[in-house]
Amino acid sequence: MGFSFLEFAGGGGYCGKVKRVNSILRTFWFILAGSLVLVPGLHSEVRVENLPGGLEVFVGEQPVLRYHTRVVPPPSGVDPVYARSGFIHPLFSPSGKILTDPFPVGHVHQHAVFSAWSRATFRHQTVDFWNQASKLGNVEHRAVLARHKDGFTAHLQQVSAKQGPALDEIWKVRVEESRDPFIIDLETEQSCATSDEVYLHHYRYGGLAFRGSKHWNAEDEENFEGPMKILTGEGIADREEGNHTAPRWLAVYGPVEGQTVGVVYMDHPGNLRHPQPVRIHPTMPYFVFGPVVSGSVIIRPGMAYRARYRIITFEGEPDAETIEGWYARWSARMRNEE
């Protein structure tokens, strides 16, 4: 256990000085996506389309993901406190199956692919950006800073209900030209939105999260088909055994509309406390890579927390040897490009 200060780093470091103009971050980190050996015929051009309330990324004619810029209200009859922007849903498998759930039955605050800290202190007050029912905080989309040929850069904020914006967050999302599997690189960089530090407490979850399909949610009786299964880079296939381990990658999969599909999250070797601990819920289809599982983190003015992940969606059950190859090529290329 312990705590970390996020400091400036030169050369190959993963923290950097942040400049702020008109309260919007203008310093971006350019990440070249790692490579995957593509099968002939599976290479297609990536494009990004503006949609009402968001951006959608395609490979060829196949949708890969949608990012929400507009606040999305929860389903009818659900407390409006759960409304959210700044998250990814749907995340698709190559065959078009939806892998995520934006307002899951039982835990409406878990929004598909999302980022949030649960236990924090800002200006001497407790903040919870994750659990919206606490009414202590939330995460909000602020602006699309750039739209690229193969993705986008977005500005979000983690906001205290009492004290206002606490953290500026930049998401840089890139999609590879691959139709099967889909390959997404997501980088998050967080810095203080004010002159006050943000203290992230040691806790069992918080960070970049994934909430899986409604078809994996036993509480959703109308849609449930079967539980989410897992496989970690250490060969663990039991969810309770895998909880709070520190795998280099984690694959989850299960039935969606009668077809087995899945997703793998890969933790970059340069991330804080790599390999980061992962919270895997024993019954709900969700997990989160969280450095706070190992100890607290302090984000101070002029400093930044930066993390990179590769997200790959696939058909069928995960194959450990194939995923190891994907991970090795990605991590090696990223190290060479620093």
- Does pLDDT of 336 surpass 90? no
Q: Please work out, in degrees rounded to the nearest 5, the angle formed at the alpha carbon of residue 135 by the alpha carbons of 18 and 218.
A: 100
Q: Compute the residue count for the chain.
A: 338
> How much is the pLDDT for 333?
78
What DSSP designation does 226 have? S
Cis before residue 318, ω within 30 degrees of 0?
no
Looking at the whole model, is its pTM more than 0.85?
A: yes
> How much is the pLDDT for 54?
98
> How much is the pLDDT for 31?
30
Q: Convert the pLDDT of each residue in 134-160 to its tens digit.
A: 999 999 999 999 999 999 999 999 999
Give CA–CA dist 82/76, Å, rounded: 11
For residue 38, which of 174, 178, 176, 184 has the smallest C-alpha distance? 178
> How much is the pLDDT for 42?
58
Q: Which class does domain 3-336 fall in?
A: mainly beta
Listed by start position, the domains of the chain span: 3-336
Token pair of 275 as six digits: 């390999």
Q: Convert the pLDDT of each residue in 11-20 to its tens digit.
A: 233 343 333 3
Give CA–CA dist 170/28, Å, rounded: 8
164-175/137-148 β-pairing: unpaired
Q: Phi first, then psi: give them for residue 36, nearest 5 degrees.
A: -130, 135
More confident of the two residues 336 and 309: 309
> How much is the pLDDT for 43?
66
